[in-house]
Chain A
Amino acid sequence: MYLRYTEDEVVVDEMFDSFFSSVCSIEQVRSSATLGFDPDAWRRLIETGAPSMSVPIELGGGGANLATLAIAATHLGRTIAAVPLIEHVVALRLLASVAPESPLLDSLLAGDRIASLALRPGLDEQLVPAGAIAEVIVGFVGESIVVSQAEPPLAALPNLADLPIARRSLAESSAIGGTQDHYHRALAEWQALMAVALAGLGRAALRLGVDYVTEREQFGVPIGSFQAIQHGLADVATAVEGADMLAQRAVWALDSDQGDALSLASMAMLFAGETAQRTSAAALQYHGGYGFAEEYDIQLFYRRAKGWPLQFGSSSSEYQRLADLVLGEQVA
């Protein structure tokens, strides 16, 4: 049991903290809203090695575990950065594990192409996260992992959360082997990293809320001195701590192949998603009317908190999928 960053991880944490807070400032995020992608930030992120670091060394990656990548995901969440790190890494890891000989690997490792994961099995056409910018889409159709390579549209479907989503087709894709287990593992990696990012988002939204209620005065006092507001923030602050730990635990479970890794990843995303939504909603509410104004940042977090996990599908469907995993399939 060791529930803090190791010395090495502290160094990685400082590196990504500094990277995301300087390169992915909220102004950068705002100016990337139309496509939901910041090419300059992505280019610089590639230079840090993050997109390739958690691919095995023998395949040209950095050999790091998911936990190291999760450190980057935390900061991506805190800054709601417009970079497809989670999609790219998860798709790349899946491709590398199923088709280590794939000619696409080198360019994906180098970041010359962007990869993403189609999150719904068996669908020929679907909304794909980072689908507007990814040239390589990895999915599961029929009995096999499939890869589709096509010029990305470079235009996002206008959406709630300024995400680079687009409908992509897997009809022309090629099967590369692999099993449903490989695909489920990749989905779980996406969920666990998304959970870490959502916990980071929640923490940042909480900070915006606390800062605002500390400065904003009504009735002659800071509104943060009112217990109604304190208690609302205390509840979500508690949930954020829980969400972060559960997300870290899911990442650890995947890294160490625990038997409950897939269900923990699903649980972590469900809990972190709802927590990020509750937290950003509370912080927005305590901004009063300004929370609704585009000028204030909290509304960006509110929209992103809903948008990120919704890409996976509705949470009510995910609860049923989780129940099937934990309780066994429904009879009726």
Chain B
Amino acid sequence: MDFSFSDSAEAFRAEVKEFIAEHLTSDVLLGTRDGTLHNDEFHRKMADRGWLDGAVPAELGGAGRDPLEMLVLIEELQLAGAPVDGMGVAVIVAAIILELGNDHLKETVVPRIISGESLCSFGYTEPDCGSDVAAATTSAVRDGEQWLINGQKMWTTMAHIADYVLLLTRTNTEVAKHKGLTFFVVPLDTPGIEIQPVQTMGTERSNATFYDDVRLGDEWRIGAVDGGWAVMKAALKFERGIAGGQFPSATLIDAALNSARTIARPDGSLAIDDPVIRERLMRASIDVEVARCFAYKTAFLASEGVMFGVEGSMTKLFVSEAYKRHSHWFIDMLGAEGLLNHDGANAPEDGLIEEHFRHAPVTTIYGGTSEINRNLVAEAHLGLPRTRN
């Protein structure tokens, strides 16, 4: 086995690091604290470099950078704590359209996404269906040449700053639930759509979106009528391949290490000299190295043209559970000072560790809960019987 990167990947890493040093300013980093998860200027600059296009496979008409180079990009961005959610969703939607979409979508939507001009959001989850995503009830009904859409979606994060939502609808109630689904790429300025904020414990703002007699031409449909499950599978495939976030703990550990070295505790000692803290720092570092192995493995498989499945579930499960654990350890390390958030003065690390503590719980929930991922590992990897319909 060879865990080294090619010279061109290392050269690309240097380019990414230079880009980060220049453009990931404290304004960009702190800008996401208003809850948007996104910085448009930073996003467009990445698009200008061709990095969004690079994430879209060449056989689908994208620039198709080597998945190992895309890994380098994602790794460096995450290690630096850059806002990457907008990029992640954008390239997934672009890739799905290029794989399964019609010419209209390919010609109008994809160029706008790839250029960084338009953002997207995911519209799968509903108030009454989360993990059981195929139970979606938001309806799309034929009305002449058009579709009439009614329903509600939850956790349409970034919808308030996005131009499109990838919308999962029900087009058939007479068949098994996953055989009656259809996807649309819906322009969010279409009349009848209302976006309401959902504030979260983690500061990030999400949305509930409401669809009231939304009229849409058939050119906005993606995939076959009642063929939505195939689109869903493609979306999950790209999601696990591109997004996922393998290094949420990186900036947390950096901050913890810095605090441990610099902030005297009430008895005058530094946490860095405390064997318990040293062990926890090492445990967290080991978890990050394991995460790195998972990330390398999935990128390697992608570079060989192997579409991985259960490796994505394992990565997500391991990384998010570890991150939650780390957030407990390091807020605890700060003692009472750990309570302070960035709105007040003199919070340790400007409240970054406290912020991580509030953010971490969502990571074992969104994009496939830990429980769903354990089901998938048990079924697909261990061959144990399926327990749900």
Contacts and interface: CB of A to CB of B under 8 A. Distances in A.
Interface string B296-310: 110111010000000
Interface in B200-225: none
Nearest to A209: B382
Interface string A303-324: 0000000000000100110110
Interface in B255-305: 257, 269-270, 272-275, 278-279, 281-283, 285-286, 289-290, 293-294, 296-297, 299-301, 303
B278 A233 contact: no
Contacts, number: 147
B374 A327 contact: no
A230 B297 contact: no
A214 interface: yes
Interface in A206-254: 206, 210, 213-214, 222, 224-227, 230-231, 233-235, 237-239, 241-243, 245-246, 248-249, 251-253
Contacts of A256: 4
Interface stretch (A2-10, A29-37, A186-194): A2-10
Interface residues of B, number: 49
Contacts of A316: 275, 279
B378 to A, nearest CB: 4
A234 B382 contact: yes
Contacts of B281: 323, 327
A322 to B, nearest CB: 5
A207 to B, nearest CB: 9
Contacts of B257: 327
B288 to A, nearest CB: 10
Given A245-B297, A316-B279, A327-B278, A231 B371 contact: yes
Given A210-B384, A249-B3, A271-B290, A330 B278 contact: yes
Contacts of A234: 317, 373-375, 377-378, 381-382
A243 B293 CA distance: 9
A323 B279 contact: yes
A249 B285 contact: no
Contacts of A238: 314, 317-318, 377
Interface in B354-389: 371, 373-375, 377-379, 381-385, 387
A320 B373 CA distance: 33
Contacts of A246: 286, 289-290, 293
Given A234-B377, A323-B279, A1 B2 contact: yes
Contacts of A4: 1, 300
Contacts of A243: 290
A319 B279 CA distance: 5
A147 interface: no
Given A2-B1, A332-B273, A230 B378 contact: yes
Nearest to B290: A242
B1 A252 contact: yes
Nearest to B315: A238
Contact of A253 (B3, B270, B375): B3
B5 A1 contact: yes
Contact of B384 (A225, A251, A319, A323): A225
B296 A227 contact: no
B318 to A, nearest CB: 5
A259 B84 CA distance: 30
A166 interface: no
B300 A222 contact: no
B120 interface: no
7 contacts: A1-B2, A210-B383, A230-B374, A234-B378, A238-B317, A238-B318, A249-B289
- Closest 8 CB pairs between A and B? A245-B293, A230-B378, A323-B278, A234-B377, A234-B374, A332-B273, A242-B290, A319-B279
Interface of B: 1-6, 9, 68, 257, 269-270, 272-275, 278-279, 281-283, 285-286, 289-290, 293-294, 296-297, 299-301, 303, 311, 314, 317-318, 371, 373-375, 377-379, 381-385, 387
Given A227-B374, A234-B377, A332-B273, 19 more contacts: A1-B5, A2-B1, A3-B2, A3-B300, A210-B383, A227-B371, A230-B387, A233-B384, A234-B374, A234-B375, A241-B314, A242-B314, A243-B290, A246-B286, A316-B279, A322-B282, A323-B278, A330-B278, A331-B270
